Structure 1
Amino acid sequence: MNIYLNFIFRAKTYTLSVCLLLLSISCINKEKNNTEETITKTDKLEKLYSNHLVMAYKYLDSIDITNNNDTNKKYYINSRTYFKKSEPILSYIEKENYKSLNSPNLIRIQEEDPTDIKINQPIGYQVIEENLFSESMDTLALSRALKVTSSRLKLIENNIDLNFKDYHVLWLARDAIVRIASTGLSNFDSPILGASLNESGYVLSTLNDVFTIYQNNFKNKDLLQKWKTELINSQKTLNTDFDSLDRYEYIKNHTNKQLELLKAIQEDWSIEFPFELALKNNTTSLFSKNTFNLEYFSDYKSDTIHLNTKIDLGKQLFNDKRFSIKNDMSCATCHIKEKAFTDEKITFNKHVKRNTPTLTYSGLQKSFFLDNRSGSLEGQIVGVVTNHDEFNADLKHIIEVVKRDKNYSKAFDTLYSRGATDMNIRHSIASYVRSLNKFNSKFDNNINGKENTLTEVEKKGFNIFMGKAACATCHFPPLFNGTVPPNFSESELEIIGVPDTKENKKLDDDLGRYNLFKTEERKGAFKTPSIRNIKLTTPYMHNGVYETLEQVMDFYNKGGGSGLGFNVPHQTLPFDNLDLSEEEIQAIIAFMRTLTDNHLDKNEAL
């Protein structure tokens, strides 16, 4: 009996051991397969990226400025093709390098340290393009650009390490989609050849390749096919000449659909993003109140608990004149809601000689005041409070005003952990200003498919704005200001040579950004404002010089200050003149008027 029991016990032990061994082997194989799959995806992605970079710099290295220029042009176009194919990954992981390699042929000025201002000569593809394809070639600048650009690409390629999570792939895809819609459709980075549409097709081709590598991530294989079909259809739409593309229809029918599919892919892959960047992770349109993550644009990284109550409190503070030392001025004194938060004055007064800009959509930028001297809304408020010609007070004064008011004091103690500090007060006001982004204009509602009321003239105006007129190379959609998509981390300054009167006889004497650091190359530099609600924000330009949009368009059509005969050595407009017809000008104006928020157009409460 004991022998029998012992046999049974050993048999069971042996069976259990075999089962455990098989389970262990199964787990090891599963882990190994998962590891191999991950490595395979990473390896394939790195190989794809590396190949694009290698081909880009090899073609650049083939350019010999002493040889036939037609051959050099072919080499350049081939190099540029591979550079754009690398763009989705390159621009995502090497933001500063990408910016240098693809920036306009303009000097780059770094003023972060006032004691060490740097003036950097441009490098990259646009420098090469403008020299190879222009009538006069600067061989020294071309030679330098070729050398530095190639070296930079080689350095990047030698240090590839794509340690991607799945959500990184979705982020880089979204960046690519937004970049095409906001800058790729306008020839922003191909001003001479005008090849942006074809190049955008190369970007979409790379996205197709990337998602092929990640095809096993898809639980829903139909979704993968829909995504690939959409990318192919978008490429076909872009395969046309620059003037013929209907940019309105492209964004409405392709950009929006791509963003919707990305959201579906996010859900299919069960993606959990660690945080949000400038764009919300679930955005399905560029022109929506739910497009932007407002916290990204704030200095104050607080939670969003009771945010609407903080906004309501900020609105009260915005309209309170007690913050000024004489109790005679509030934020609303200059920024009147019915006038799209401007004041319709040429300049605010004889001391403040600049036009009051709109506050609508102003929270969605990274620099403030017309000379970009503040880095946040919270910081801008300090400038207003302490300015002798505005509130003429200090931060201690605004704290005292709040603490003396029982309702204010109670509200801050309830809403903020430290109560009525100057930062919390400024955050509340800034939160209100950041809420002035309704995205409910006629244009927004039409491009989002909520209504079908745009006229053919208005659509034509948008297409000219984005295309022939090159307006969108400075006023980037969807904000139509100078904050550069898709990262929205920089608000650009431009030098356009604005006159001092509408007669266009003399250059305005306000030197803009130059007044801060005395950088010669910044003379006349001003921030590019949003043209949203432009119908309500007359007069126009930093000095309020023009009374009508027709006058503004005439200024640009003639080529800005340089076109008027002024000495503007560092003018940044990407054209000599536009050669727009009167019909085209009126179409652009018709489009710009569709950017009026509905509640402002109807004078509803905000």
Structure 2
Amino acid sequence: MKHFSSPLLVLFSFALFLSCKKEKEELVPISEWTYAQNYYLENITKSIQYLDSLKVEGFDGKNAKNLFKEARIAFKKAEPYATYLNPDVGHRANGPALPIFKEDNNKVLKPVGFQKIEESIYEGETSKADYEEELYITKGLLINLQSNIEKRELNPQRFFIATHQQLFRIVSLAIAGFDTPVSHLGISETAISLESLYEIYQHSIQYIIKDKNSKLDTDFQNHIEKAVKFIEDNPDFDTFDRYTFTREYFNPIMRNWVDIRKTSDLWEPVDTEPFNFDAPTFFEKNAFNSNFFMPNVNKNPTDKQIELGKKLFFDTNLSANGLMACATCHNPDKAYADGMAANSDNNGKPLGRNTPTLINSAFQQSFFWDGRSETILDQISSVFTNKDEFNTNVHEFSSEILKDSTYNKLFKDAFGSISTRNTDVIKAISSYVSELNGFNSKFDQNMRAEVDTYTDEEKLGYNLFMGKALCATCHFIPLTNGTVPPFFGETEKEVIGVPETATNKSLDDDLGFYWKYGSPLHKGMFKTVTVRNSALTAPYMHNGVYETLEEVLNFYNLGGGGGMGFELEHQTLPFDELNLTESEQKAIIAFLKTLNDTDVESY
């Protein structure tokens, strides 16, 4: 890594403050953001220029891959601020090469962006006209980002949030190959992102940190250099040791960065982002801000509301026939699932789909397998009104539960009075469910370097999960669900081609998310659920078709339904076989077992 020697642009201003006792002079740090803003602007402009060069070169030109690489390097340098200012445009410019469904007019847009251009250049399966259209639209997206950088002044809040987001991209997306699934440039781009961060740091706030804590400044530089050296020494995508990189190289940088932000005293974190900005790594028990994911009417639940919600969770009197409770399907002894392919409805007949775990379920932006509820409150309300489940009215309070006199005090403590509508009941239950969070598994403790108990097989499993097996390109680390980092505003749904039975002979006929728009793009599409506690929540898939993790790994290894020969024009899972060996599949399962954590009421 280079040692930069440019003159510091950080200034100090002196502010005179009068107190009631005496006048005193304080030294107030003022950061200079001109260099950083120009850096982001210059690099997004460079990326646009490289796209112009790619048009001239053609997708099959001998220099196309190199020009593409340079376009991406420039984009990665501009990405933190560019995508902070416009997340939707940033994601489209660098998101998956999949068709985009427009909910406002039901139109399906062709895939565009860097990942689509990557496919065209590296795989060559395109036409000159399609390739130039991809470049034209992607250039338009980058021009939009460029315009935002020009118009919106960088300040401490924007800088620290944008940097936090970029650091999350590194640990969850870049090293998993999400950005560059064909070229696998994500490993080398991680070094670019880290060096870029250090350069911006040098020209903005380093002076403040050196003055206040010179050791922190030195540690940060050393950790950046060591991480970049590790990447340079281990450039191969398939063999890159993501476990060691994250635990031993990235996390020290992350801890330094949190300390740098605090030491700078330039910005106090806000409560409107998905992160806990004070968490020293992304693997802490409290790394995420659960309030971000909760509906506005149910943020910051009180201990009394949670206590009431817990009691209601187990109460069968909430259902019309007095036989079903939340815990009927979400049993704490079974990791808040039920161990069945499908539980029974209120008439003893099988329900339509498998019961997922509730642990960490708050960290989603859609609920149910088919995504029909957008909030946790909507999800619980749907259970109340479902004729096959509770079969009750949300607005009619069940007086049956008040036969238990302890509810009188619980409701008064939680809401100030005894409720007359089930809406308070639903709020209380959602408050309880939102606290069922488990981030203290063997995996988490090892990633935080609190213990050193991972076996070689478990390390291999994690590296395969993050690399060759492509698991983490849908099950994003560390939540391992489909809620897309670093903005966490969407929970992905996928078409993977789940079979009707474990014989893998025919496609299941459940249409999933197709219910909402009737678009062929959505046939058989289901939400990506967490794989935390998956070793405890068999059977698997939306229909409970597979009894074992071995069967699940085999399904993915074959390329999903498309790889098994099912007709799936819009499968979002790659059709190609993963070519995982038996020992590699066993290693992934060993890793998945380290994600178990059901001690969720101790936090």
State the TM-score, normalized to the length of structure 2.
0.89
Tell me, yes or no, if structure 1 residue 509 matches structure 2 residue 498. no
Matched, 1:363 2:362: yes
Say whether 1:140 aligns with 2:129. yes
* Cα distance in 2, alignment partners of residues 435 and 359 from structure 1: 10
Matching residue of 1:90: 82
Report the CA distance shift for 1:86/1:321 in structure 2 as closer, same or farther (over 3 A): same
SS of aligned partner of 1:526: strand
Counterparts of 2:365 and 2:500 in 1: how far apart (Å)? 28
Query: Contact 2:305–2:431 (CA<8 Å) still a contact in 1?
Result: yes
Query: Which residue is 1:257 aligned to?
Result: 252
* CA apart distance, 1:166: 1.6
Shift of 1:149: 1.2
CA contact (8 A) 2:334 2:536 kept: yes
Moved more, 431-440 or 50-59: 431-440
Query: Could you list the per-position Cα deviations for residues 258-287 of structure 1 after superposition, in whole angstroms to 9, with x for gaps in the alignment?
Result: 232122112212232243411112111222
8 A contact 1:86–1:206 mirrored in 2: no
After TM superposition, list the pairs within 5 Å mapping 1:323-402 onto structure 2.
323-349=318-344, 350-398=349-397, 400-401=399-400
Q: Distance in 1 between matches of 2:549 and 2:468?
A: 18
Q: Distance in 2 between matches of 1:268 and 1:368?
A: 40
Match of residue 589 from structure 1:
589
The amino acid across from 2:256 in the alignment is: L
> Residue 113 of structure 2: which of 124, 127, 133 is its match?
124
2:102 corresponds to 1:110: yes
- Separation in structure 1 between the aligned mates of residue 440 and residue 143 of structure 2, nearest angstrom: 46
Asked if 1:183 corresponds to 2:173, the answer is: yes
8 A contact 2:87–2:487 mirrored in 1: no
> Residue 192 of structure 2 aligns to which amino acid in structure 1?
Y
- The equivalent of 2:275 in structure 1 is 279
Instruction: Find the counterpart in structure 1 of residue 22 from structure 2.
Output: none
Q: In 2, distance between residues paired with 1:364 and 1:310? A: 19
Between the aligned partners of 1:227 and 1:108, the Cα distance in structure 2 is 40
Which residue does 2:217 correspond to in 1? 224
Partner of 2:10: none
**Alignment partners' CA distance in 1, 2:471 and 2:447:** 19
Q: For residue 70 of structure 1, report the CA deviation from its aligned partner.
A: 1.4
Distance 2:173 2:575 in 1: 16
Q: Deviations over 1:512-535 (max 9, x none)?
A: 000222111100000011111111
Relative distance call for 1:475 and 1:557 in structure 2 (3 A) is same
Mean alpha-carbon deviation: is it higher for 86-95 or for 211-220? 211-220
Match of 2:63, SS? helix
For 1:63, which of 54, 59, 63 is the aligned residue? 54
Q: 1:417 to 1:142 in 2, by over 3 A?
A: farther
Q: Deviations over 1:231-258 (max 9, x none)?
A: 2222222222112221111221233222
Report the CA distance between 1:543 and its aligned residue: 0.4
Residues 318-366 of structure 1: per-residue CA shift (max 9 Å, x gap): 0011110001000000111111111111122445221111111111111
- The match for 1:47 is 38
Which of 287, 292, 297 matches 1:291? Answer: 287
Q: Where in structure 1 do 4 or more consecutive aligned residues deviate above 4 Å?
A: 34-38, 65-68, 399-406
The structural deviation recorded for 1:399 is: 5.5
Q: Secondary structure at the match of 2:338?
A: coil
Q: Partner of 1:81 in structure 2? A: 73
**Deviation of the 1:558 alpha carbon:** 0.6
Moved more, 345-354 or 465-474: 345-354
How many angstroms apart in 2 are the aligned matches of 1:432 and 1:86? 41
Change (3 A) 1:365 1:418: farther
State how far apart, in whole Å, the 2-side matches of 1:387 and 1:155 are.
45
2:461 & 2:410 partners in 1: Cα distance?
Answer: 47
Q: If the length of structure 1 is used for normalisation, what is the TM-score?
A: 0.89
Count of residues paired in the alignment: 567
Bigger shift: 512-521 or 349-358? 349-358
User: Which position in structure 2 is the counterpart of 1:415?
Assistant: 414
User: Is contact 1:46-1:161 (8 Å) kept?
Assistant: no
Shift of residue 403, structure 1, vs aligned partner: 6.0
Q: Is the 8 A contact 1:440 1:598 kept in 2?
A: no
Q: Rate the CA distance shift 1:253–1:417 in 2: closer, same or farther, 3 A.
A: farther
The one-character-per-residue Cα deviations of 1:172-202 (angstroms, maximum 9, x if unpaired) are 2211111111111110110110110111111
Query: How do 1:541-552 residues align onto structure 2 when only pairs under 5 Å count?
Result: 541-552=541-552
Amino acid at match of 2:134: A
1:84 is displaced (CA, Å) by 1.2
In structure 2, the gaps of 5 or more residues are 1-13, 17-26
Bigger shift: residues 75-84 or 342-351: 342-351
Q: Which amino acid aligns with 1:500?
A: E
Cα distance in 1 between the residues matched to 2:406 and 2:398: 14
> What is the root-mean-square deviation of aligned Cα atoms in Å?
2.4
Structure with greater helix share of residues: 1
State whether residues 60 and 146 of structure 1, in contact with CA within 8 Å, keep that contact through their aligned partners in structure 2: yes
1:171 paired with 2:161, answer: yes
Letter in 2 for 1:289: K
In structure 1, distance between residues paired with 2:465 and 2:30: 47
How many Å apart are 1:303 and its aligned residue? 6.1
Structure 1 residue 405 displacement after superposition: 5.3
One-letter amino acid of the counterpart of residue 352, structure 1: L
Displacement of 1:402 in angstroms is 5.6
Tell me by how many angstroms 1:167 deviates: 3.1
Q: CA deviation at 1:404?
A: 6.4
Hey, what's the Cα distance between the residues in 2 that align with 1:393 and 1:310?
21
Q: Which residue does 2:93 correspond to in 1? A: 101
- Residue 240 of structure 2 is matched in structure 1 by 245
Closer, same or farther: CA 583–274 of 1 in aligned 2, 3 Å: closer
Deviates further, 512-521 or 585-594: 512-521
- Asked if 2 retains the 8 angstrom alpha-carbon contact of 1:323 and 1:397, the reply is no
SS of match in other structure, 1:63: helix
Check 1:425–1:110 CA distance in 2 against 1; reply closer, same or farther (3 A cut). Answer: farther
